[in-house]
């Protein structure tokens, strides 16, 4: 079983959560004075709709790339949401990406299509931080094969920087 595609996606999404959070915090000075000068919360939500490629996606059953190395073609929706407090280091960020995917396995020539949903969050304050991630995929191959995957990941740090929870659970069926 090759988990590079799923784990590569997880790393990419964790990075996206960090960038999303950093982006929200980078906008803090302007938003703090314009939107909530009394230390209230600032919230931003972004919606993305359309067709794009997920270049890190590989076939988790054999490690092959898709679509000549471009990754899976994704047609769907992505929602990013960030809330932070203007007078503290507290932040909450979440995203949901869902839609249809299609890709031809570069090694076998089998075309897979199906549905993928990914959700993640990141929370941070002066006492702790945590992040969680889920991925669900159901794909059917043009040769009658299938890929079904569900992954859950949770990571928690306490105020001392100690890791108190760190696990990944992956259920993968290649048929």
Count of helices and strands (H, E) across the chain: 2, 7
Cα(163)–Cα(145) distance, rounded to whole angstroms?
39
Task: Per residue of the chain (175 residues), give pLDDT as tens.
Answer: 444 444 344 444 444 444 444 444 444 444 444 454 447 889 999 998 999 898 888 999 999 999 999 999 999 999 999 999 888 888 999 999 999 999 999 999 999 999 999 999 999 887 889 999 999 999 999 999 999 999 999 999 988 889 999 999 999 999 9
- Model pLDDT, residue 85: 86
Residue 15 vs residues 129, 131, 141, 143, 170: alpha-carbon distances, Å = 15, 11, 30, 35, 20
Cα(41)–Cα(125) distance, rounded to whole angstroms?
14
- Model pLDDT, residue 134: 97
- Model pLDDT, residue 35: 52
* Count of domains for the chain: 1
The whole domain housing 25 covers 4-174
- Name which of 22, 11, 15, 77 is nearest 44 in CA terms: 22
Phi, psi dihedrals of residue 22, rounded to the nearest 5°: -60, -40
Indicate the SS3 state at residue 17.
helix
């Amino acid at each position: 079983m090759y988990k590079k595609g799923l784990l590569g996606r997880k790393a990419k999404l964790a990075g996206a959560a960090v960038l999303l959070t950093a982006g929200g915090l980078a906008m803090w000075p302007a938003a703090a004075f314009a939107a909530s000068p009394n230390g209230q919360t600032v919230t931003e939500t972004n919606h993305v709709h359309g067709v794009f490629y997920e270049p890190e996606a590989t076939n988790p059953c054999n490690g092959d790339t898709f679509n000549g190395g471009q990754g899976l073609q994704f047609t769907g929706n992505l929602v990013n949401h960030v809330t932070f407090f203007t007078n503290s280091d507290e932040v909450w960020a979440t995203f949901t990406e869902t839609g249809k995917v299609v890709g031809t396995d570069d090694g076998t020539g089998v075309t897979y299509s199906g549905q993928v949903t990914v959700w993640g969050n990141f929370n941070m304050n002066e006492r702790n931080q945590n992040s969680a991630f889920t991925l669900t995929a159901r794909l059917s191959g043009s040769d009658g094969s299938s890929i079904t995957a569900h992954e859950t990941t949770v990571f928690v740090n306490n105020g001392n920087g100690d890791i108190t929870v760190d696990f990944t659970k992956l259920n993968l069926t290649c048929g």
